[in-house]
Chains A and B, each alone.
Chain A
Amino acid sequence: MATVRFDKVVKSYGNQLVVKEFNLEIKDQEFIVLVGPSGCGKSTTLRMVAGLEEITGGDLYIGDIRVNDMPPKDRDIAMVFQNYALYPHMNVYENMAFGLKLRKYSASEIDKRVKEAAAILSIEHLLDRKPRQLSGGQRQRVAIGRAIVREPKVFLMDEPLSNLDAKLRVQMRAELAKLHQRLKTTTIYVTHDQTEAMTMGDRIVVMKDGIVQQVASPEELYNRPANMFVAGFIGSPSMNFVACRMQEKGNETYLVNEEGFSFLLLSPEVAARLAPYKQKALVFGIRPEDISDSLSWVAEENYLAARVDVVENLGAETLIYFSLGKETLVGRFVGGPRYRVGETVKIALNPNRYYLFDQETELSLL
């Protein structure tokens, strides 16, 4: 078990910068998730930790040792690949034993560890099979088993659940979380799926175009996104954004636009903090779960009259797409559908749970 420290780590291919100055300190036993859209540099970052990609600049430490120039085999890490990367010509037992065999463990120790890992992952009955005789989920268990028998300092997981079907993914997600609670090995987990990130990570690193957008706990990412990208990336369906400006009516400050959008800022502190942005273009953000037709949130004159465009019934909840002039807002409602398409309904936006961004810098203003 160990810490992992990135100190201004840079990766470029020729002139193309793939990862820009990556700084991060991962604590011992922490489960950290790198998340972002494809091509954001998250996998490259992980592969630099594994030693499969050369580090162009900066320093990378595992424990207290600088590992920039250390080959993968000496780093004492184990990796789980998206395509499982099992050795096709070896059976499950040999696949799991391979790393131990190379490290010259005794046969009895290897046997003990493989059997233990197989028991944890409930794949004892598959030990004699070849990878091609296994289902996707079973292969992924073997890949994880191969990693845990090694008892490495750090686990690296590169989108390990992406190739599984939806149901299996949810199940394996829970199992991986349980496994981490049990083994407590420092883990770096790469995914493009924000749900995986939110449910598994102690901390989440959101990346885009090789740049770290925010490093925070799931709660903080959800509640206090640093910028529009993070705000839009975390949460499903994603946050609604509405371009707007400030407008003062008497003592009250409103956010408005030409499409009929209007939102009253209740907190005088926020209004005061926004003073320098009076003339600037702003972006108002609200999550689908903070749109409601319950009339208790705001005074009646602050309702928005919106037209129902699309109703998506998900069973336990319903997503309703409203249009407000040219703006589209998605709301999430508990229970079955309650409106018909084409209806105009009054909706309220939660006055205490909204986000504001500078349209130019896309940074959060709250």
Chain B
Amino acid sequence: MPQPQPKGAPSAGGRLARFFTTENMMLAPAMLVLASVSIFPFLYLIYASLMDFSLAIDNPTFAGFRNWLRLVKDPLIFQSWKVTIVYAVTGLGLELILGVGIALLLYAAPWGRNLFVTLWMLPIFVAPVVAGLLGWFLLNSSYGLYAWVLQQFGVHTDIFGTVATALPAVILIDVWEWTPLITLIVLSGLQSLPTEPLEAAEVDGATYWQKLRYIILPLSFRIIVVALLIRSMDIMRFIDTIFITTAGGPADSTKIIGLRLFDVAFRFMDIGFAAAIGLSMLVVTIFLGKAFIRVMYGRE
């Protein structure tokens, strides 16, 4: 039975009415989509990580923190993080040096910039799977072009089948595909640099290298960090190329953490453990992102 309310006091009905405002109603579909594709899976992931959850058995049972403990105890996880760090640091390092270097060359180029950028960008438009296939064909020890070239120099190895060469090979494929992205981002940053401080530096007596060191690089520092940030987020989760070329082998030498997650989830069907791995990757990514942001604004 509805009770009389004092005027002006918020009633339950009033609160409800305020919730169903036009604005909120218009936001609702977006919130629903977001909840279904992002929030709910995330919560479910946390739930799964606490369960003994295998697709092989019928019902997940509560496992406590067993999956989380495995994260630190399992030597294979440790191995994968090691590979990931080598893969990411070397790959990002090469991409940074090459990407920024080529951006600087293009920035200084008197002509031909657009044509070169277009050609240089092509690998980005290729799906990572295709990039992996290309790498596979080119480096294949029986019919690969690059393998053949190496053989002419007396190098006879199965590039993807040897521990010493497999990781460098997949790193180079990543560098081939993603250096252009760094070039593109950094070049756009360079092109938006104000020209007057550069001219002032010239008049002040700076050589090209001094301009680069004291003016150009400090002024484009942030955009370079942004490019690295984007790439560092990607490099951990893009498994397509490695999946196609080596599938993590030989002897787990190219099994980055993302690929390990894939194996655990879809080969061993251990969803609970995979969820824990996934969440640990999320935590690492968040901290990495935070670190980049701090570096970026630390110069204030």
Q: Using a CB–CB distance below 8 Å, which chain A residues touch chain B?
A: 50-52, 71-73, 77-79, 81, 83-89, 98-99, 102-103, 146, 150, 156
A102 touches B205 (CB 8 A): yes
Q: Which of chain B's residues have a CB closer than 8 A to the CB of A87?
A: 197, 200-201, 214-215
Sample of 11 more A-B contacts, CB < 8 Å, known A85-B196, A89-B218, A89-B299: A51-B202, A52-B199, A52-B203, A73-B206, A81-B196, A85-B197, A85-B199, A86-B197, A98-B201, A102-B205, A146-B200
A102 touches B215 (CB 8 A): no
B197 touches A77 (CB 8 A): no
Interface majority SS (helix, strand, loop, mixed), chain B: helix
B206 touches A79 (CB 8 A): no
Q: Which of chain A's residues have a CB closer than 8 A to the CB of B210?
A: 102
A83 touches B196 (CB 8 A): yes
Asked, given contacts A87-B215, A89-B218, whether A103 binds B205 with beta carbons under 8 Å apart, the answer is yes
Docked Cα-Cα span, A72 to B199, in Å, equals: 9
B197 touches A150 (CB 8 A): no
Q: Is B204 an interface residue (CB 8 A)?
A: yes
For chain B, residues 180 to 211, give those with C-beta under 8 angstroms from any C-beta of chain A.
Answer: 194, 196-197, 199-207, 210
Sort A-B residue pairs by CB-CB distance and give the 4 closest, nearest first.
Answer: A85-B196, A99-B204, A85-B200, A73-B205
Q: Which of chain A's residues have a CB closer than 8 A to the CB of B206?
A: 73, 102
Docked Cα-Cα span, A50 to B196, in Å, equals: 13
Q: Is B219 an interface residue (CB 8 A)?
A: yes
Taking the nearest CB of chain B, how far is it from the CB of A327, in angstroms?
45
B204 touches A81 (CB 8 A): no
Taking the nearest CB of chain B, how far is it from the CB of A109, in angstroms?
15
Closest chain B residue to A74 by CB distance? Answer: B205
B202 touches A52 (CB 8 A): yes
Docked Cα-Cα span, A78 to B202, in Å, equals: 10
Q: Which of chain B's residues have a CB closer than 8 A to the CB of A77?
A: 203
Please pick, from A72, A146, A156, the residue contacting B202 in the complex, using a CB distance under 8 A.
A72
Taking the nearest CB of chain A, how far is it from the CB of B33, in angstroms?
41
Docked Cα-Cα span, A83 to B199, in Å, equals: 12
Docked Cα-Cα span, A88 to B219, in Å, equals: 8
Taking the nearest CB of chain A, how far is it from the CB of B16, in angstroms?
49
Docked Cα-Cα span, A87 to B24, in Å, equals: 47
Q: Which of chain B's residues have a CB closer than 8 A to the CB of A51?
A: 202-203
Taking the nearest CB of chain A, how far is it from the CB of B193, in angstroms?
10
B218 touches A73 (CB 8 A): no
For chain B, residues 20 to 73, give those with C-beta under 8 angstroms from any C-beta of chain A.
Answer: none
Q: Which of chain A's residues have a CB closer than 8 A to the CB of B201?
A: 87, 98
A73 touches B202 (CB 8 A): yes
B200 touches A79 (CB 8 A): yes
Centre residue among A51, A85, A89, A150 by max chain B CB count within 10 A = A85
Docked Cα-Cα span, A78 to B200, in Å, equals: 8
Taking the nearest CB of chain B, how far is it from the CB of A186, in angstroms?
15
Please pick, from A78, A83, A89, A103, the residue contacting B203 in the complex, using a CB distance under 8 A.
A78
